[in-house]
Amino acid sequence: MPCTVQSGGVGMTGGHGAVEGGDKRTALVIAVLALFLAIVETGAKSAQTQAITLNVEAANLWAFFQARSIRQTTVRASADAAELQKVATGDAAVRAAIEAQQKAWRDQATRWEDSPDGEGRKQLSERARLSEIQRERYMSQYHLYEYAAALLQVAIVIASASIITSAPWLILVSLGLAAGGAVLSGLGFFAPGLLHL
């Protein structure tokens, strides 16, 4: 098929002048897909960072919980061990001092279990579980964004192939994949726990 040089570049003769306009539209589609890909990748990175942060937070809270548990057990064991000393002594003043110490230890162990300052074992476990729930939400969001990004990347490749091959049906396949990526990224933003991939 003969080619002619036009002012805007090389064009096809024989009724195929529409190819150049189609290429421009396809290039515009690719540019829009690349923009959405950049947005989805940014969302994926943000979700991943949040998931890592919440994972560290949950681990720290559980470590604090364990430290409280160990201290609580140690104090309770000391209070129980002091009972033997209290029984063994005949001195009323020593016995009163031991009882006062036992009360202080037991009160401290009770405060470590449920503290109004939010540092008790009960509060620590609730905060750790909340961090774990939030972490899972961000991990689900991250996975959905990653799958959406993969679909958008494939859509860009197929749209590019449609320019080279002049096969218009490839742009339809590309748009279908892009729609799938849009659905996954929408789920990632609005309902990340709805679909587990």
Contacts of 8 (CB under 8 A, 6+ apart): 20
Angle at 161 between CA 160 and CA 165, to 5 degrees: 130
Distance CA 166, CA 70 (A): 71
CA 140 to chain centre: 6
Q: What is the pLDDT of residue 91?
A: 86
In the chain the first and final C-alpha atoms are separated, in Å, by 49
Distance CA 57, CA 135 (A): 10
Contacts of 114 (CB under 8 A, 6+ apart): 120, 121, 122, 123
Does residue 4 carry a pLDDT above 80? no
Query: pLDDT (tens digit, 9 = 90+) per residue, 127-172?
Result: 999 999 999 999 999 999 999 999 999 999 999 999 999 898 999 9
| Per-residue confidence band for 29, with pLDDT thresholds at 50, 70 and 90 | very high
Indicate the range of 16-20, 131-135, 137-141, 178-182 predicted with least confidence. Answer: 16-20
Which amino acid is located at 173 in the chain? V
| Per-residue confidence band for 89, with pLDDT thresholds at 50, 70 and 90 | confident
